[in-house]
Structure 1
Amino acid sequence: MKIQQFGNWQSTVLGIVLATLVILGLNSFIIINPGQAGVISILGKAKDGALLEGIHVKPPFISVIDVYDLTVQKFEVPAESSTKDLQNLSARFAINFRLDPIQVVEVRRKQGTLANIVSKIIAPQTQEAFKIAAARRTVEEAITKRSELKEDFDQALGDRLDKYGIIVLDTSVVDLAFSPEFARAVEEKQIAEQRAQRAVYVAREAEQEAQADVNRAKGRAEAQRLLAETLKAQGGQLVLQKEAIEAWKSGGAQMPKVLVMGGDLKSGVPFIYNLGNVQNQP
């Protein structure tokens, strides 16, 4: 009986030992996946050197592993500022960034979680970078030269976040808005410009029409001058007779009751002959 009890006790102890070894084994290793980095803290103190992808040994029960995502992160951050001409300008930026794996331990020590990084570092630094970029230009320049505004913002933000172990990959201006007062001023300016352009168009149209009238007048005068010279020249009477015949044709080619003819083919003195008298004779 005692032998059987001793055997049961040994089996129990052996089972406890094996279970303890399994638990110790499971808590002595950590696997870091690709695109991640781990920071090991032993008894509440972060150890230097980030744990990169692969399997790593860690002290069981007294260590904690904080895993950070090193892939590209995207957050939208609002910002407001005053421009060079003291106009209010608001924007919303989409920021793509990732953590520097070399500095991830310092990030753990100083910033903590990713949520803290966004709220305590990226958001305020975005605001400051936007102030720097907006203060260099007027609100109209900020709108018309949006790419230049973004370049200044990217430069300022990258310089500010680099010291925190945050690498800015790209930024996008999601929204850019200005004050209602400036919006009304822009609308009024556009209306005034459209009216001015319309006035210029009307003036040019009137000028072109006047020039066309002048050209037509010059053309008529030149035609009359040429006609006068033709009539004065030899054979000019024939031209006059041709014009009369053309006029009769355009009126229906009917023989007129009164025919004007030259008394002499060589003379320019016309006479009037009434064809009605000829038609009434028997």
Structure 2
Amino acid sequence: MAGIPQSIFRWAVPGALAISFAQASMYDVKGGTRAVIFDRVSGVKEQVVNEGTHFLVPWLQKAIVYDVRTRPRNISTTTGSKDLQMVTLTLRVLHRPEVQQLPKIYQQNLGLDYDERVLPSIGNEVLKAIVAQFDAAELITQREAVSNRIRNDLLKRAGEFNIALEDVSITHMTFGKEFTRAVEEKQIAQQEAERARFIVEKAEQERQANVIRAEGEAEAADTISKAVAKSGDGLIMIRRIETQKDIAQLLARNPNISYLPNGGAGGEGKSGGSFLLGLRS
């Protein structure tokens, strides 16, 4: 029994060292990441390690794990346009490292936060260079062209640092107070000019309508005059009969009105079609 603790102690130390060495020799590369191996003797290895569990030589080698998933980043800058108007631009950039170029990214001493070291710098550089080529008004009217220019130039600059850009878009664009006030005043003036033009067009249309109406009435009056001159009193009598007929139909529909034939005591023996009208009690 006395020899058992000594044997356990004799094997425990080497076993613990072996376990520690085995743990130090293993490393995991999780999903969405890649690893670069730095060797103290040969330097950075060119091979990129994929996902999974891998082995290395402790102390002699070290694994540097990079996140290779696409991530967003906002880049903002305030600069002057071609006509010296101050413009504030914000870009939204979706970026990731070039997986096969991870050893070069590590050799350039950019570190794991390569995007924080590179993107703000080249983003401000490209934005200032592009905005300076356009007037403030052109930045508004030609926003798509400006965005394309920024995207193309930023892709080239990011490629020099082995960074891939999935998307580049302008999310915000604001101008100085003076330019904004000038734009608002211009819009108000344009709206007032449109309103005045509408009023003028409406008055002209009403004038033309009155002219056409007057011409129609004059033509109708001329036609009636010619018809009267041609037929004598016949047309007037026809119009009079039509008017009396309309009045009779209107009175016939009224229940409070009664019709009495013309005559009575003094009307006997007279022929005719006149009537006396009386209200019912």
TM-score computed with the length of structure 1 as normaliser? 0.78
Deviations 1:11-41 (A, max 9, x none): 4332211211111111112221232111222
> 1:162 Cα deviation (Å)?
0.9
Aligned AA for 1:240? Answer: I
The residue that corresponds to 1:154 in the other structure is 151
Pairing 1:230-241 to 2, within 5 Å after superposition: 230-233=227-230, 235-241=231-237
Counterpart Cα distance in 2 of 1:46 and 1:187: 59
TM superposition shift of 1:196:
0.5
Equivalences for residues 39-188 of structure 1 within 5 A: 39-43=36-40, 45-115=43-113, 117-188=114-185
Matches within 5 A, 1:205-216: 205-216=202-213
Match of 1:189 in 2: 186
Deviation, structure 1 residue 93? 1.7
Residue 63 of structure 1: how far off its partner (Å): 2.7
In structure 1, give the amino acid aligned to 2:145: E
Asked whether the equivalents of residues 132 and 153 of structure 1 are also in contact (C-alpha less than 8 Å), the reply is no
Deviation at 1:43, TM superposition (A): 3.2
- Give how far 1:125 is off: 1.0
Secondary structure at the aligned position of 1:26 is classed as: helix
SS in 2 for 1:133: helix
Which secondary structure state, in structure 2, belongs to the residue aligned with residue 47 of structure 1? strand
Give the letter for the 2:154 counterpart: L
Give the stretch that moved more between structures: 197-206 or 172-181: 172-181
**Partner SS state of residue 224, structure 1:** helix
Q: Distance in 2 between matches of 1:226 and 1:104?
A: 98
Shift of the alpha carbon at 1:143? 2.3
How many Å separate the matches in 2 of 1:236 and 1:99? Answer: 104
* Aligned-residue offset at 1:228: 1.9
- Shift of residue 244, structure 1, vs aligned partner: 4.8
2-structure distance, mates of 1:251, 1:83: 81
1:167-202 Cα deviation digits (max 9, x unpaired):
000123232111111110111011000110011101
Give the aligned residue type for 1:182.
Answer: F
- Separation in 2 of the partners of 1:98 and 1:57? 26
SS of the residue corresponding to residue 173 of structure 1 reads strand
What is the distance in 2 between the residues matched to 1:204 and 1:138?
35
Percent of aligned pairs with the same amino acid = 27
SS at 2:238 equivalent: helix
- Give, as a single letter, the amino acid of the residue that structure 1 aligns with 2:50: L
Question: Structure 1: any 5+ residue segments left out of the alignment?
Answer: 254-282
Is contact 2:29–2:52 with CA below 8 Å preserved after alignment? yes
DSSP 3-state at the match of 1:49:
strand
Amino acid at match of 2:27: I
CA distance in 2, matches of 1:11, 1:205: 108
- 1:26 alignment partner in structure 2: 23
In 1, distance between residues paired with 2:245 and 2:228? 21
- Structure 2: distance between partners of 1:249 and 1:82: 86
Paired with 1:83 and 1:194, the residues of 2 have a C-alpha distance of 27
Provide the alpha-carbon RMSD of the alignment.
2.7
How far apart are the structure 1 equivalents of 2:247 and 2:8?
138
Gaps of 5+ in 2: 251-281
